[in-house]
Amino acid sequence: MLGQYNVGNCKSDILHPKMNGQQRRYFIAAEKILWDYGPLGYDKFSGLPLNASLYFTQGENRIGGQYWKAQFVEPSGTEVHLGILGAAEVGDTLLVTFANKADKVYSILPHGVLYDKTGMLLSVTNSLVSSGFLKPGAHVKPGETFTYRWTVPESVSPTDDDPSCLTYLYFSAVKAIEDTSAGLVGPLLVCKKGVLNADGTQKGIDKEFYLLFTVFDENLSGYFDENIQKFTWRPSSVDKEEKKFMKSNRMHAVNGYMYGNQPGLSMCKNDRVSWHLIGMGTDTDMHGVYFQGNTIHLRGTHRDSLALFPHMSITAFMQPDHAGKLGIFKVFCSTLHHFARGMSQIYEVNSCGNKDPSEPPYGMLRTFYIAAEEVEWDYGAGRTHKRSTQPGRWERRGEGR
């Protein structure tokens, strides 16, 4: 299911919105890595070893829980969730230098910003590759670098009712299904003007977390054959079309981790926390994300869950401040088979010596009073009971005639 359309220059002068903000430079690389979906070796919810699970059993014709994958990484390498590419305010220009340190041709395609199409081509097909029509930024070869130029015009700004920063995503689009299945996807923030600190963090936010909910289908990864050769004990015995084998390679993960193995989701009581959630995948990736123990603020409502769909991003606010709400809580997909197959993680709320917040909590505090009383109830109050004038069943059927 693929089509093409042509865009021509109908005017000699193309209007470009003026960018009156900062010019921000970011550096990011794609690297081939050996990824473990369960580095702790056990299910943090049940305490059972992961090798008891279908997805972590290695054998003659089973890969197990480790795969060769590709990942976007930043030079610092300090982010334990998803390596954020960076945040940008309305009016900014982003210069993103991409170094392909992996072993396949990759690219970066963003959502939520404008990019220079002289360096990119959206739809990549084999015929385009062979004919040489690809733009440089659309196919960065191993060992090469390319600098993308993205702009953030007023037209993509968060509205007055939106959070200060909205969550978007970027991914490799050379072979989009293979590339994203291999792991090449990450978050990008587009913010209102004046809401970022000098270091690029949000003003008024203490912690930011990035969660990617998706079923990584390793059967579709560009490294699938290599993973079979590397991790199965008898590669020649593998039937790629066998249903159980294919199922064992569909990893139900949050940020590439399963069964609570995600590190680093820790915050303090009263912290102002921004959650950035991203959905990827296919029609099976319809997720009901549930936060245990605390509520989130989303689109003017307070709730504990939200709906997430493929190529959809959501920004939610949390301030864990209720008495007694300290400790370890779950964040997971409430779709039953997603949860049962590992799409669940743990976040931790610590006291950190915090008492009352130094400033009012997010939003307005309202107090309501309600009581439950025992009453004698009449379901037919004010009515007279009359015999029905409708004919009985036997009369309707002619039995009484």
Residues with catalytic roles:
333
Contact 194, 285 (CB under 8 A): no
Q: Quick one: tokens of 105?
A: 């041709």
**3-class secondary structure for the chain?**
CCCCCCCCCCCCCCCCCCCCCCEEEEEEEEEEEEEECCCCCECCCCCCEHHHCHHHCCECCECCCEEEEEEEECCCCCCCCCCCCCEEECCCEEEEEEEECCCCCECCEECCCEECCCCCCCCCCHHHHHHCCCCHHHCECCCCEEEEEEECCHHHCCCCCCCCEEEEEEECCCCHHHHHHHCCEEEEEEECCCCECCCCCECCCCEEEEEEEEEEEHHHCCCHHHHHHHHCCCHHHCCCCCHHHHHHCEEEEECCECCCCCCCCEEECCCCEEEEEEECCCCCCCEEEEECCCCEEECCEEECEEEECCCEEEEEEECCCCCCCCEEEEEEECCHHHHHCCCEEEEEEECCCCCCCCCCCCCCCCCCCCCCCCCCCCCCCCCCCCCCCCCCHHHHCCCCC
Give the whole-angstrom CA distance, residue 11 versus residue 217: 44
Residue with tokens 């579709």: 220
Cβ neighbours for 68, distance < 8 A, ≥ 6 positions apart = 32, 33, 34, 35, 223, 226, 227, 230
Q: Quick one: tokens of 303?
A: 């709730």
At 52, the amino acid letter reads A
